[in-house]
């Protein structure tokens, strides 16, 4: 790993900019509500229904593939 003495000003400035960019991305995902990241009312209802579905009603992915291909 390079020592701080061997990093020139341009590289240091680039590192600072990269850290600022990453910080902005991380903070925006934690503190702001992105309207595109919100679920629609329909999706919220479907998710609620899915969570209430007992696991006994689940079936394996292979079974789903068979059902789809039969149609």
Q: What is the mean pLDDT of each run of 10 residues along the chain (71 residues)?
A: 68 89 76 64 89 90 88 69
Instruction: Establish if 61 belongs to a structural domain.
Output: no
Has residue 44 been placed in a domain?
Answer: yes
Asked whether residue 17 is domain-assigned, the answer is yes
Distance of CA 17 to the CA centre of its chain: 23
Is 36 within a domain?
yes
What confidence score (pLDDT) does residue 53 get? 92
The whole domain housing 13 covers 4-53
Does any domain span residue 43?
yes
Task: Report yes or no on 71 lying in a domain.
Answer: no
For residue 11, the model assigns a pLDDT of: 85
CA distance 55 to 71: 25
pLDDT given for residue 43 in this prediction: 86
The total number of structural domains in the chain stands at: 1
């Amino acid at each position: 790993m390079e020592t701080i003495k061997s990093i020139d000003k341009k590289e240091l400035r680039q590192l600072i900019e990269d850290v600022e960019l990453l910080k902005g991305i991380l903070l925006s995902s934690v503190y702001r509500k992105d309207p595109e990241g919100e679920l629609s009312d329909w999706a919220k209802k479907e998710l609620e229904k899915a969570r209430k579905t007992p696991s006994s009603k689940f079936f394996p992915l292979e079974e789903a593939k068979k059902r789809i291909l039969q149609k």
